[in-house]
C-alpha cells in the first residue's frame, strides 16, 4: 500500500516526514472520477455538486458531518453487477457494507438479492419489502431466535458456518415443519492479499469449515442426512478489498474439487456455488479496481473450466459484493474546524466527525483521499492529516493527504468512497452523534437515515 513520497511545495515543511503519500495532484481542485461518485463535479463557482445539488446547500439543509449518497450511481453499479452476471447467476448485495430501507428498495427494483448477517439486517430487509426468498442469511454465531425468524420468514438460504449450526438449523427447520435451503461455508485455505482483519479464507479464523483434513466433506455428509435441510451448495468468501483475481481462482478450483468429491461419494451434484464478495474499490487514485463485467467473465470462466475438467454440470454461481456497489457512491461531508500546523511535520486539520463515522483508518490503516469542496483554491498544497474531534490521538480520518495551504475553519471538505463500512460501523464514541445518510438525485436531496440526536442517546440511557 505504501507509495513513493517526493511532493513539491508544502507550506509548513522543508523536509517531508515519512508517510504513505504520493506527490500532490497537479491541480488539487480536480476530482478523480475513480474515487468520487459518478455525478460529482464542480459548478461555475467551484462548489462541488452531486446529483445536481451543491455541497453548501447540503450542509445548510442537513448539517455536517453527513454521508452524501449518489442514488443514480448506486443503482447503476447495482445494475452493472446484475447485468454482468446475467440470468444464470445471482448477485446478493452484502448488507453489512451499508443497509437502509431505501437501499433495500433500490436493490429490489434493480433485481438484486440481499445477504444479511444479523436479526437487525433481516428485519430491515423484510420491513422494506425484500422478498424473503431473495435473502441469504449469514453469520458464524446466529442465535436460535435469529435462525427461527429467518426460517419462519422463508429466507432463500441460510449459510451454515459450523458443525453445531448444521444440527441447530436442521432441528429448528424440522420443528417448524420446513425444509430449509442451505449452503455450507468452507474455508479453502487461500491467503488473500488484504488486511489481516478482513481476510477470511485461511484456516486459523472463526468463519467457515476448513476444507483441510476432510472437515468440509464431513459437514456435507452430515447435512445431507438431515431431513430439515436441503443442501443447495458450497460457499466461500476469501476476504475483502481484494484486487487480485488469483485468490478467487484458487478458491473456485478447491470448491469445485469438493463438488466433485460430493458427486463421487453421494451421487449428488450440488446445484449452486457462492464465491462471496470482497472485490476492491479505489480509495485513492493509486487503486485500480476491476469492472463488474471483467469480474463476472473471469469468475464464470474459472468455474466453467474447473467443472468441465471435473465433468460436472456447471452450478449456478452467486456473488456477494458489498463495498464494490455502495463504497464509491458516497462521500462524507465535513466542516473544517481547528487547523494546527506543526512545523517540520504536517498540518492537523480537525473536522466535526472522526473515528465515530469512519473507523476504517484507525482499524485497518485504510487510506483515503480528501478534497476542499466548498470552493476552489490555487494556494500551494500542504501536507495534511485530517483528524476528528474524539479524545484519542488515533482518531485519524485521512492519514496523509494534500489540501490547499489556505484552508480555513468553516471550509467544507469531503472524503470520497465512504459508502461502505463507515455508517454501518459508526459508533457513539464520546457521545458524538452518528451522521445522517442523505441521498441525492436529480437536483433533490432526501434523508434516508436521519442524524442521531441527543434525545436518541438519552432515550437509551434509562437511568
By CB under 6 A, name the binding residues for ligand LLP.
Answer: 94, 96-97, 115, 138, 198, 237, 240-241, 276-279, 320-324, 360, 364, 420-421, 425
Minimum distance of ligand LLP from residue 192's CB (angstroms)? 10
Q: Which is nearer to ligand LLP, 323 or 346 (CB)?
A: 323
Minimum distance of ligand LLP from residue 256's CB (angstroms)? 19
Cis bond before residue 65 (omega within 30° of 0): yes
Minimum distance of ligand LLP from residue 293's CB (angstroms)? 17
Minimum distance of ligand LLP from residue 247's CB (angstroms)? 12
Report in angstroms the alpha-carbon separations of 204 from 184, 186, 367: 18, 12, 27
Q: Which is nearer to ligand LLP, 270 or 407 (CB)?
A: 270
**Which grid cell is 105?**
428498495
Minimum distance of ligand LLP from residue 106's CB (angstroms)? 17
- Note if 307 is an active site residue: no
Minimum distance of ligand LLP from residue 87's CB (angstroms)? 21
Minimum distance of ligand LLP from residue 404's CB (angstroms)? 29
Q: Which is nearer to ligand LLP, 106 or 402 (CB)?
A: 106
Catalytic residue among 117, 307, 391, 422: 391
Q: Which is nearer to ligand LLP, 328 or 381 (CB)?
A: 328
Q: Which is nearer to ligand LLP, 58 or 422 (CB)?
A: 422
Q: Which is nearer to ligand LLP, 54 or 161 (CB)?
A: 161
Instruction: Return all residues near 317 (Cβ < 8 A) that are at least 6 apart.
Output: 85, 88, 89, 90, 272, 273, 274, 275, 299, 300, 303
Q: Which is nearer to ligand LLP, 324 or 412 (CB)?
A: 324
> How far from the centroid of its chain's Cα atoms is residue 179's Cα?
31
**Rounded-to-integer distance, Cα 63 and Cα 132, Å:** 36
For 150, list phi and psi in degrees, rounded to 5: -65, -45
Q: Which is nearer to ligand LLP, 274 or 335 (CB)?
A: 274
Cβ density class 259-294: b for 16+ within 10 Å, e for less: bbbbbeeeeeebebbbbbbbbbbbbbeebebbebee
Which of 230, 203, 136 has its CA nearest to residue 220?
A: 230
Minimum distance of ligand LLP from residue 278's CB (angstroms)? 4
Residues identified as active-site: 391
Amino acid at each position: 500500500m505504501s507509495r513513493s513520497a517526493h511532493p513539491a511545495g508544502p507550506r509548513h515543511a522543508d523536509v517531508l516526514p515519512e508517510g504513505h503519500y504520493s506527490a500532490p495532484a497537479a491541480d488539487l481542485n480536480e476530482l478523480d472520477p475513480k474515487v468520487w461518485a459518478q455525478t460529482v463535479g464542480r459548478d461555475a463557482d467551484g462548489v462541488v455538486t452531486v446529483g445536481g445539488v451543491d455541497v453548501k446547500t447540503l450542509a445548510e439543509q442537513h448539517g455536517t458531518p453527513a454521508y452524501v449518497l449518489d442514488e443514480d450511481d448506486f443503482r447503476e453499479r447495482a445494475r452493472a453487477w446484475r447485468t454482468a452476471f446475467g440470468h444464470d447467476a445471482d448477485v446478493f448485495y452484502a448488507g453489512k457494507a451499508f443497509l437502509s430501507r431505501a437501499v433495500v428498495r433500490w436493490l429490489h427494483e434493480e433485481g438484486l438479492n440481499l445477504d444479511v448477517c444479523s436479526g437487525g439486517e433481516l428485519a430491515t430487509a423484510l420491513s422494506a419489502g425484500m422478498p424473503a426468498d431473495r435473502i441469504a442469511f449469514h453469520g458464524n454465531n446466529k442465535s436460535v431466535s435469529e435462525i427461527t425468524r429467518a426460517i419462519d420468514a422463508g429466507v432463500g438460504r441460510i449459510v451454515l458456518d459450523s458443525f453445531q449450526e448444521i444440527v441447530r438449523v436442521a432441528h429448528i427447520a424440522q420443528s417448524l415443519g420446513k425444509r430449509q435451503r442451505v449452503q455450507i461455508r468452507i474455508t479453502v485455505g487461500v491467503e488473500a492479499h488484504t488486511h489481516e482483519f478482513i481476510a477470511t479464507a485461511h484456516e486459523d479464523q472463526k468463519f467457515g469449515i476448513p476444507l483441510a483434513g476432510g472437515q468440509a466433506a464431513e459437514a456435507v455428509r452430515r447435512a445431507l442426512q438431515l431431513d430439515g435441510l436441503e443442501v443447495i451448495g458450497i460457499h466461500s468468501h476469501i476476504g475483502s478489498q481484494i484486487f487480485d483475481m488469483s485468490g478467487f481462482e484458487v478458491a473456485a478450483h478447491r470448491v469445485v474439487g469438493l463438488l466433485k468429491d460430493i458427486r463421487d461419494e453421494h451421487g449428488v451434484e450440488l446445484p449452486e456455488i457462492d464465491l462471496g464478495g470482497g472485490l476492491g474499490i479505489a480509495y485513492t487514485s493509486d487503486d485500480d479496481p476491476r469492472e463488474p463485467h471483467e469480474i463476472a467473465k473471469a469468475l464464470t470462466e474459472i468455474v466453467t473450466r474447473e467443472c468441465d475438467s471435473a465433468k460436472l454440470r456447471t452450478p449456478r454461481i452467486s456473488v456477494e459484493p458489498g463495498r464494490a456497489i455502495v463504497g464509491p457512491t458516497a462521500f462524507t461531508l465535513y466542516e473544517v474546524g481547528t487547523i494546527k500546523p506543526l512545523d517540520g511535520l504536517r498540518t492537523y486539520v480537525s473536522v466535526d466527525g472522526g473515528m465515530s463515522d469512519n473507523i476504517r483508518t484507525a482499524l485497518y490503516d485504510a487510506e483515503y483521499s480528501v478534497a476542499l469542496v466548498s470552493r476552489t483554491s490555487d494556494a500551494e498544497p500542504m501536507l495534511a492529516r485530517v483528524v476528528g474531534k474524539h479524545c484519542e490521538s488515533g482518531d485519524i480520518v485521512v492519514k496523509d493527504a494534500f489540501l490547499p495551504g489556505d484552508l480555513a475553519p468553516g471550509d467544507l471538505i469531503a472524503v470520497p468512497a465512504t459508502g461502505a463500512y463507515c455508517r454501518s460501523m459508526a459508533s457513539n464514541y464520546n457521545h458524538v452523534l452518528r451522521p445522517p445518510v442523505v441521498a441525492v438525485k436529480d437536483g433533490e436531496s432526501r434523508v434516508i437515515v436521519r442524524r442521531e440526536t441527543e434525545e436518541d442517546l438519552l432515550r437509551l440511557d434509562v437511568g
